[in-house]
Amino acid sequence: MEMREKVSAKFEEIFGEGAVMYASPGRINLIGEHTDYNGGFVFPGAVDKGIVAAIKLNGTDKVRAYAIDLDSHSEFGLNEEDKPAESWAHYIFGVCREMQKRGVKVGGFDTTFSGNVPLGAGMSSSAALESTFAFALNELFDGGIDKFELARVGQSTEHNYCGVKCGIMDQFASVFGKAGNLMRLDCRSMEFEYFPFNPQGYKLVLLDSVVKHELVGSPYNDRRESCERVAKVLGQEFLRGATMEQLDAVKDQISEEDYRRARYVIGEERRVLDVCEALEKGDYETVGARMFETHWGMSKDYEVSCEELDFLATVAEECGVTGSRIMGGGFGGCTINLVKDELYDAFIAEAKKRFCEKYGHEPKVYPVVISDGSRRLE
């Protein structure tokens, strides 16, 4: 509640009364990493941390925005040439432009916002920000856009205004989140279903290495291009549905690096389906085993881990944790851990102690509860 009150109070201080409050969550992804842009499956859930915004139409053609956490103001128009200087404001500007492209008559508004999604932890604070404004503007300007298109608004904002060629998962999870459920999204057909996630006797916890990563630029896009090259050799649009036999058959036509990237993605598609099957049986041990496989695949084949994350996954294995892996694009950020209740306190203490001894600071600990998606706060 306190974030909502802070955002509301700051709005009144700067712009006066009458704002409407909106919120969207960050997300975790239990498994299915770097599969979205390969047309595969992902398995996210919305979390109990996100972005809250106060918004009020101002009757002009200007947006006046204040980012509380950064203590930064931005004012901008709604035409393409009006892109603001402040990089955080690109997200709001991009959402306005993408809504306009879809026929919504977006006008000026005033807004303040704040978030408690840890930045750089791979929980998609940017998607939470985009989803908050897409959902709000759709309602405030009677856009009539469905939830899937709102997720695409966020994705297009990343592509066209923020320089990241991301898949659809982060925005999808933020918009469609449902408490007590994970979602399996087929990134090719856009079909999805909810899977109850209620691991009795286990906790989900993120350990943030506090190693920051910037996904803009080459590392993320390089891997995407690797996958696209292999798919082309296989005569497919995406790697989705390719088998290891097919990959091995073209091994001599692709680089060693592209082969390893594709091997990871093909294996990850299988792991997502294994986890869905395991969850339907309440088999959390299999879920955990697949999480570890994903971690080491991302580390060795996809090469998006880093020394600190590999260290945290190793500590988790040694402490008897059920499952642990890098979460998010990689290059820093968090591990997501599925831990039995009775091991939880000892694991957290051990991970903090050993990480601090090696790297000079403790990892941050974020227990996670699966929560609801984008909404107006009454």
Q: Which positions are catalytic?
A: 170
What is Dmax (Cα atoms) for the chain?
Answer: 66
Non-local CB neighbours of 119 within 8 Å, separated by 6+ positions: 125, 212
* Residues β-bridged to residue 229: none
State the Cα–Cα distance between residues 135 and 283, nearest whole angstrom: 36
Specify the amino acid at residue 87.
S
- CA–CA dist 98, 134 (Å, integer): 9
**Partner residues linked to 187 by β-bridges:** none
Written as one letter, the residue type at 362 is: E
Residue with tokens 């999870």: 173
For 74, half-sphere exposure in the C-beta direction (CA atoms, 13 angstrom radius) is: 23
CB 298 within 8 A of CB 326: yes
H helix and E strand count, the chain:
11, 13
Specify the pairing of strand 181-186 against strand 72-77: unpaired
Contact partners, residue 283, CB within 8 Å, separation at least 6: none
* Nearest residue to 51 via CA among 161, 122, 130, 105: 130
Please report, for residues 241, 249, 251, 300, 353, the alpha-carbon distance to residue 245 in angstroms, rounded to integers and kept in the order given: 12, 6, 10, 20, 44
Question: Alpha-carbon distance 284 to 123, whole Å?
Answer: 22
Distance from C-alpha of 259 to C-alpha of 116, rounded to nearest angstrom: 39
Q: How far apart are the first and last CA of the chain?
A: 12
CA distance 52 to 6: 10
**Whole-number Å distance between alpha carbons of 87 and 74:** 10
| CA pair distance 190, 172, nearest whole angstrom | 10
> Residue 11 carries which side chain, given as an amino acid letter?
F
